Structure 1
Amino acid sequence: MDPLDLLRLLLDPQRLAVVGDVAARPRTSAELAQRHGIGTEEVLRTLAPLVQADLVTAADATYHLDVDAWRALARTLPRGAPASPRVGFGMTAEETGVLARFFQGDRLSELPAQRHKRLVVLERLALEFEPGVRYPEREVNSLLRRFHDDHATLRRALVDEGYLDRAAGEYWRAGGRVV
């Protein structure tokens, strides 16, 4: 099955709910019918395309999610662009590995939840600011927007973690390495 076809199938809220139940644990059509307030024939129609695609199997009147088939389908999805080599500028090999997980091209896909990884990302962003130069907020926003649309969160994180300092609408480099 093509991943786009699967997405179209899962846009049906009833099918998505039924598949979610089957993913949680194997269930019979009678269980699924009762849980979702539909007839068993409707359960069969709902799951039929996924059974035909071998993503759901029926054995002993019980439906099972074929996790390996879903993983195989996931491997066919296109990968995002790898992090640009520029992203690793001034960073160690280990740090570059962390950055590779959170950057696609030159863009930050998300700010890491784990602090030690977030600090690696912020350290890299801090390298964009020259020590001793004062930047108006507008310029800081513009520079950070090149990496992520939520420039305000990045700016606050850089200040909170001590990479930038601010006063009177100006920001300057306050921490991090210099390369």
Structure 2
Amino acid sequence: MTAQALAGALADDVRRQVFAAIVLGGADASAVADRTGLAARQVVTALRRLVDAGLVAGGDGDLRVDVARLREAARTPAAPRPEGEPADRVLRTFVRDDTLVGLPAQRGRRRVVLARVATSFEPGVRYPERAVDDVLRGWCDGGGSDHVTVRRHLIDEGFLARDGGVYWRVGD
């Protein structure tokens, strides 16, 4: 069992209540139902899923938490994500055909999108504000963002710098 499978098994409110009742000594379905106030059918369904997930062992009258499996899950490292996978997913969500569908509210995701937009500017080249606006309008036309907001975010997040109405790409 992985930590992700453990989290998935306990993601449901009813399963968490049933699991907690077993941790607190509920040895059978009726005791768990009494402790939680849940319907017997809900308890039985949650028990079946907890047993299938490997969190609960034993049968009716002998329910217990499988501590060894919990320890194993806690010690099992999460599988590494493929490089670039999260950024690709963010870009697929917020950029379509080189048009911004919208800007993510979450800063980390917004930075991924802004980094992609910043590649429209050549490193070391100085751009007047009008040229920057023209490039950003191309990203924003028909999308969910306006070019002024995108320009402001590019500057605030350090992808572009500005001085006296002249802009340049930072860091490359």
TM, length-normalised to structure 1: 0.45
- Higher normalized contact order (CA 8 Å, seq sep 6+, divided by chain length): 2
**Higher Rg of the two aligned structures:** 2
TM, length-normalised to structure 2: 0.47
